[in-house]
Structure 1
Amino acid sequence: MEVYFTIDKTAVAEFKDRGSKFLAYAFPVKSPEEVKECLGEVKKEHPKATHHCYAYRLGTGGLQFRASDDGEPSGSAGKPILGQIDSRQITDVLIVVVRYFGGSLLGVPGLINAYKMSAAMVLQLIPVIQKNIETKYHLSFDYTIMNEVMMVVKQNNCTVISQELQLFCEMDIGVPKSGEELCLIRFKDIYGLEIRKLKL
């Protein structure tokens, strides 16, 4: 597995059923901290909503996930939302569905359908993008070889995560797994460059 699929935009969709209004928000997220922030924003925007149900999946392997029914019957909200994320095979995604109760009970099948539809609708608004799975490395080098280092970074489609460029430079980069070996060979050819793999 050298690539994964995700989203890089936010979107909102609305679904109505028997007076209840469901607002679905999709966010690209990278960590549980970001999930909390986005959830907080939605709750701030809709303090009077009956429920704020959500699901997310994180990490290139999609191993971190959570589904919350927020007071709806067990399995009727979070699971159907997560199901839509999984049917698209995407990760690093959070979907929050806000419900305003409209007076009529929808029953568990009705709720499952409403949360599923809301999540599906919001995902239809955002293009799925493909990203390289990367291994992270730390580079330290003298400013004089900056151009050589940057050339390898660009030619191998590496992502610059952070950099501190002074007389002595420090840089964290993500190297696409698909071209990792070749990229490392080219880095090792640069005299005076120190490179070490970062632990996740």
Structure 2
Amino acid sequence: MGAADAAAPRYPSTIAAPVEHELVVKKSRFLALVHPVSSVPEADEVVAAVRKRSWDARHHCVALVVGPHAEQQRSTDDGEPSGTAGVPMLEVLRRRELTDVVAVVTRYFGGILLGAGGLVRAYSTATSEALDLARLVRRSAATRVTVDVPHADAGRLHGVLRDWVGSHDAGLADVAYGAAARFTLLVPPAELDALDAAVAAATSGSVQPERGGTEVLSR
């Protein structure tokens, strides 16, 4: 690991798309939904939609983690004994180092009491098994870099940069056309010098990428 890699902050991952999963324990049905979100209000909307769809269920237990560094964390047992549902679900999200995700487990009671330990296992297992089916989106620190070129060179450089980001774990965030063509890239710190070299080679040294602040790159 190089110095740039060691200095780069680590970010929790998220999931690419919603996933639903059903777990049956002693005739009780636990319907788990894990859903990517970008804010607490968006998570609340997901929970509200689940409550509306499964209006006849006894419990809708929730755990959510939001923020680049998982700063916002909440859970609710929704009528289950305290600490037997939301907190175990939240612990699953924490152990997997996830953020920007809400988990909702809807329970249809099957007539057999599970006890506190059984509920903890059921809610955590339902959440964990749903996440097993989800595709992870990795996040890492990246430097925002802009490259300005004359319009006449834009087409050729666009191809060069598109190929470059694909082989260097980087991202081409935007292409804008004003007085010049401006390419905006998100580049891992360890790859900045390689980008400088690639642009110099493609433009005979006439273009110098401009480095900006640090952002989060998802892929």
The answer, yes or no, to whether TM exceeds 0.5 is: yes
Question: Structure 2 vs 1, CA of residues 101 and 153 (structure 1 numbering), >3 Å: closer, same or farther?
Answer: same
Counterpart residue identity of residue 196, structure 1: G
Q: Which residue in 1 is equivalent to 2:213?
A: 197
Tell me, in whole angstroms, the C-alpha distance in 1 between the residues paired with 2:51 and 2:175: 35
CA contact (8 A) 1:84 1:120 kept: yes
Give the C-alpha shift of residue 83 in structure 1.
Answer: 1.7
Tell me, in whole angstroms, the C-alpha distance in 2 between the residues paired with 1:39 and 1:73: 20
CA contact (8 A) 2:196 2:209 kept: no
Tell me, in whole angstroms, the C-alpha distance in 1 between the residues paired with 2:158 and 2:66: 31
Give the C-alpha shift of residue 7 in structure 1.
Answer: 2.8
Q: Superposition pairs for residues 46-85 of structure 1, below 5 Å?
A: 46-85=54-93
Give the C-alpha shift of residue 5 in structure 1.
Answer: 3.8
CA contact (8 A) 2:21 2:33 kept: yes
Q: Superposition pairs for residues 137-148 of structure 1, below 5 Å?
A: 137=144, 139=146, 141=148, 142-146=150-154, 147-148=156-157
Q: Which residue in 2 is equivalent to 1:102?
A: 110
* Runs of 5+ unmatched residues, structure 2: 1-8
**Counterpart of 1:54 in 2: which secondary structure?**
strand
Alignment of 1:151 with 2:160, yes or no, is yes
Tell me, in whole angstroms, the C-alpha distance in 1 between the residues paired with 2:191 and 2:48: 39
Counterpart residue identity of residue 151, structure 1: V
Tell me, in whole angstroms, the C-alpha distance in 1 between the residues paired with 2:188 and 2:139: 6
* Runs of 5+ unmatched residues, structure 1: none
Question: Structure 2 vs 1, CA of residues 81 and 168 (structure 1 numbering), >3 Å: closer, same or farther?
Answer: same
Query: TM-score when scaled to structure 1?
Result: 0.74
Identify the range of structure 1 (75-84 vs 135-144) with the bigger mean alpha-carbon deviation. Answer: 135-144
Task: Note the alpha carbon deviations across 1:141-167, whole angstroms, 9 max, x for none.
Answer: 353443436634641432234444466
Tell me, in whole angstroms, the C-alpha distance in 2 between the residues paired with 1:192 and 1:76: 57
Question: Structure 2 vs 1, CA of residues 172 and 191 (structure 1 numbering), >3 Å: closer, same or farther?
Answer: closer
Give the C-alpha shift of residue 22 in structure 1.
Answer: 0.8
Query: Rg bigger for which structure?
Result: 2
- Count of residue pairs brought into register by the alignment: 199
Give the C-alpha shift of residue 98 in structure 1.
Answer: 1.0
Give the C-alpha shift of residue 12 in structure 1.
Answer: 1.5
CA contact (8 A) 1:140 1:195 kept: no
Tell me, in whole angstroms, the C-alpha distance in 1 between the residues paired with 2:122 and 2:174: 42
Task: Note the alpha carbon deviations across 1:13-67, whole angstroms, 9 max, x for none.
Answer: 1122333221011223343344234323323321222222122334453333222
